[in-house]
Amino acid sequence: MATQNFDIVVIGSGPGGYVAAIRSAQLGFKTAVIEREAIGGVCLNVGCIPSKAMITATHMLHKAQHDFPTMGLNIKGGISVDMKTLVNWKQSVCDKMSGGVNQLLKGNSVTVIKGEAAFKNSKEISVKSATGTDSITAKYFIIATGSRPIEIGGFPFDEKDICSSTGALAFNEIPKRVAVIGGGYIGLEISSYLKKLGTEVTVIEANTTLLAGVVDPDCAQVVARKAVKDGIQIKYGAKAKSQKKITSGYEVTYELNGKDEKIIVDKILVTVGRRPNGDQSNLKAAGITVDERGFVKVDAQRRTNISNIFAIGDICGQPMLAHKASFEGVMVPEIISGINRVYDAKTVPAVVFTDPEIAAAGITEAECIAKGYTDLLISKFPFAANGRAVSMIETDGFIKMIADKKTHVVLGVHIVGPDASNLISEAALAIEMGARIEDIALTIHPHPTLGETMMEAAEATLGHAIHIIQKPLNGAGKGAHI
């Protein structure tokens, strides 16, 4: 076939890639996006969206089973779960979102090309599909090929019994027993939804805490306590060694305190992290530099060492989050168009959809100290003191606020509790704009809402919260908001 020519070609249609393609087209560039699988990438099809659909459904199930009776709402005969229907509904959510992205690409005149892209040189790629191989040239390329689950020795993925998150979101039947290798955010999110369905869940975690190095330790403790309360078994300091197929399922062997222990399960979920796809797309042919971990090296404009090639999202480094990729997806086409931009975000908010949710913006207490902040104002405001949380029967957790004592500038906000994922955006804006504690405390928040906890946390950081009893911090109560 004849070679197709474009101004910008985006490789990958995930939350970074499809956004980059749309922005490129909006700026007047002749644009194409290459996708080897489903439009929307991992996040939309087998990651963020489907997992949140399952978490939402099982959260509702849990409330119906445990909170409704407390409220006097009695369901006669109990609730049964039709797993096939649940999975089909989950898939319909993904299909609806993917269809929406397709319409956006079409509406912006982006050419969608299905197939596997590989660089031939810095100006040309080949795209292999079921119908053959095509050549495509472009003035600029944006690599948005993402990442994939890390597979560990002895636990090869078949996505049926030994699964990554992809397989774990597609069970047609509720598994009776599951071993989850890795107590990070993916493993805990899936553990939470499976436990609510009635699965016996055992988490095998090599560290001595859950979510180690991922979230504020105080927040992680709340989630760990709730997981144990809900019946999830957690094996800390344990290392998965092997698995063996047996008549009753799988025998998983793990090392704990220097001794081998075994559990029998039906399914094994491996969630020890993700690795960038830097070993794909024949990047070497274009001369693109890839580091030893598989990340494409980029500068502050997300430009690689090859001037006409950019990289965004998981492929170019931490944090490996969809919203960071989308931000870069808007930025890079604007840079190509001549707008002088660089990646200079003060914070990238992060959310863990555990039970309860965890969300964070800014830096932790330990990171503050490491950066040289020697005098901090730190407070926690509990959701148990918030009327909206009480009325929802969701009072676990708190908002933890950290500020520089000298300037009162907010450095970090860490939330564990109901709707943390929605509450964190206010904190992200505050940190991005360099807000002081008083900026949050003096903003009138509507009542009764969970959002009031952000205002109260700011008041607590100043030493004079209304709805908790606390000693004024160095006389701060006398000084009010001055």
Give tens-digit pLDDT for 261-298: 999 999 999 999 999 999 999 999 999 999 999 999 99
Q: C-alpha distances in angstroms, 448 versus 6, 188, 281, 339, 386?
A: 53, 31, 52, 43, 8
Q: C-alpha distances in angstroms, 250 versus 104, 198, 230, 265, 268?
A: 45, 19, 24, 5, 8
Residue whose C-alpha is closest to residue 366's, from 389, 400, 341, 333: 400
pLDDT, mean of residues 75-103 = 95
- CA–CA distance, 273 with 292 (Å, rounded to integer): 16
Give tens-digit pLDDT for 359-376: 999 999 999 999 999 899
pLDDT, mean of residues 127-154 = 96
Q: Which CATH class is domain 356-477?
A: alpha beta
Strands (E), 274-431: 274-276, 309-311, 350-352, 357-362, 376-382, 398-404, 410-417
Q: What is the average pLDDT value for the chain, to the nearest integer?
A: 95
| Confidence at 471, pLDDT banded by 50, 70, 90 | confident
Residue 476, pLDDT > 60, answer: no
Q: What is the dihedral of CA 80, 82, 86, 87, to 10 degrees?
A: 150
Decide if 447 is catalytic: yes
Contact 398, 426 (CB under 8 A): no
pLDDT, mean of residues 99-128 = 97
Residue 148 backbone phi and psi in degrees, to 5? -145, 160
Q: What is the pLDDT of residue 470?
A: 87
Structure tokens at 265: 């399960």
Q: What is the pLDDT of residue 480?
A: 56
- 333 preceded by cis ω (within 30°)? no
Active-site hit among 66, 447, 467, 481 = 447
Angle, helices 83-107/48-66, rounded to nearest 10 degrees: 140
Q: In sequence order, what are the beta bridge partners of 133?
A: 128
Which residues, other chains included, contact 85 with Cβ-Cβ below 8 Å and sequence gap of 6+? Answer: none
pLDDT, mean of residues 404-427 = 98
Q: Which CATH class is domain 4-149+275-336?
A: alpha beta
Residue 477, pLDDT > 50, answer: no
Give tens-digit pLDDT for 173-227: 999 999 999 999 999 999 999 999 999 999 999 999 999 989 999 999 999 999 9
Give tens-digit pLDDT for 29-86: 999 999 999 999 999 999 999 999 999 999 999 999 999 999 999 999 889 999 999 9
Domain ranges across the chain:
4-149+275-336, 162-272, 356-477
Decide if 4-149+275-336 and 356-477 have a common fold. no
Residue 12, pLDDT > 50, answer: yes
pTM of the model: 0.94
Q: What is the pLDDT of residue 1?
A: 59
- CA–CA distance, 294 with 168 (Å, rounded to integer): 25
- CA–CA distance, 161 with 356 (Å, rounded to integer): 28
Residue 473, pLDDT > 80, answer: no
DSSP H stretches of helix in 15-168: 17-26, 41-46, 48-66, 68-71, 83-107, 165-168
Q: What is the pLDDT of residue 77?
A: 87
CATH superfamily of domain region 162-272: FAD/NAD(P)-binding domain (3.50.50.60)
Q: In 3-state terms, what secondary structure has residue 109?
A: coil
Q: What is the DSSP string of 155-213?
A: ----SSSEE-HHHHT--SS--SEEEEE--SHHHHHHHHHHHHTT-EEEEEESSSSTTTT
Q: What percent of the chain has pLDDT over 70?
A: 97
Residue whose C-alpha is closest to residue 336's, from 25, 65, 116, 16: 25
What is the separation of C-alpha 324 from the centre of its chain, rounded to a whole number of angstroms? Answer: 10
Q: Which bin fits 269, alpha (ψ -120 to 50), beta or left (φ > 0)?
A: beta
Task: Give the chain's radius of gyration (CA, Å).
Answer: 24
Contact 115, 132 (CB under 8 A): no
